[in-house]
Amino acid sequence: MSTIILECDGLIKKFGSKVAVAGVNLKIERGQIVGLLGPNGSGKSTLLKLANELLTPSSGTILIGGAKPGVETKKIVSYLPEKTYLNDWMRVHQIIEFFSDFYEDFKPEKAYDMLKSLNINPQDRLKTMSKGTKEKVQLILVMSREAELYLLDEPIGGVDPAARDYILKTILSNYNEKATVIISTHLISDIENILDYVVFINQGQVVMTSSVDDIRDEKGKSVDALFREVFKC
């Protein structure tokens, strides 16, 4: 199996005259935890949607494990969008059954374990939950899959610090050398320590890529500090 799990080559996405992704070239290897960092509207979410075939490229290519986004790549990609996307009428255990049905790599035991740790009752209806709890459920569903590429769009934005720690711990404990986690976020200082590699993106283009340690070595500052410098308003 190739070592590159995500590859973008001259990737462009336009919405009418607006260019959201303006020619991205990127190669991400397996077994990495990568931060996709950039200000609002920089094209992070668009990039993740392109990887999921929720959008189709205007030109250029994006490959997951060497294949174009499609049914086969969706089997190995686990995506957490920024939105709450679960249907309201189901109970938690029903959505777990749903995921088990459609995803071969879904592990219900893991999901139930995590629900227990976060004190979420599987019998509860999604409709009755707070936004924060729904987001936790969504994250649990995504992390209970044994995927080869996890794409997390702002996974820790809406949760309290304790849950945030739990989520980062879960991401780490899920780590395996075949899989890669790409986290798109603004909350950099919280996740810096778990990142291998960061990709700075602005106005649809990759501004910089580097390992976290190299940044600290060469620039003597944290990724968070560098980000503030690079993206100063």
Binding residues for other proteins, rule: CB under 8 A, are: 15, 31-33, 49, 52-56, 71-72, 74-75, 77, 79, 81, 83-87, 89, 98, 101-103, 165, 168-169, 172-173, 175, 189, 192-196, 212-213, 216-217, 220-222, 224-225
- Is the Cβ of residue 25 or residue 193 nearer to other proteins in the bound state? 193
- Is the Cβ of residue 55 or residue 120 nearer to other proteins in the bound state? 55
Shortest distance in whole angstroms from residue 112 CB to other proteins: 20
Q: Which of 4, 6, 149, 184 is nearest to 78 (CA)?
A: 149
What is d(CA 167, CA 173) in angstroms, rounded to the nearest whole number?
A: 10
What is d(CA 36, CA 204) in angstroms, rounded to the nearest whole number?
A: 12
- Is the Cβ of residue 146 or residue 224 nearer to other proteins in the bound state? 224
What are the helix (H) ranges across the chain?
44-51, 71-76, 92-102, 108-117, 131-143, 161-173, 188-191, 212-219, 223-230
AA identity, residue 92: V
Shortest distance in whole angstroms from residue 187 CB to other proteins: 13
Shortest distance in whole angstroms from residue 153 CB to other proteins: 10
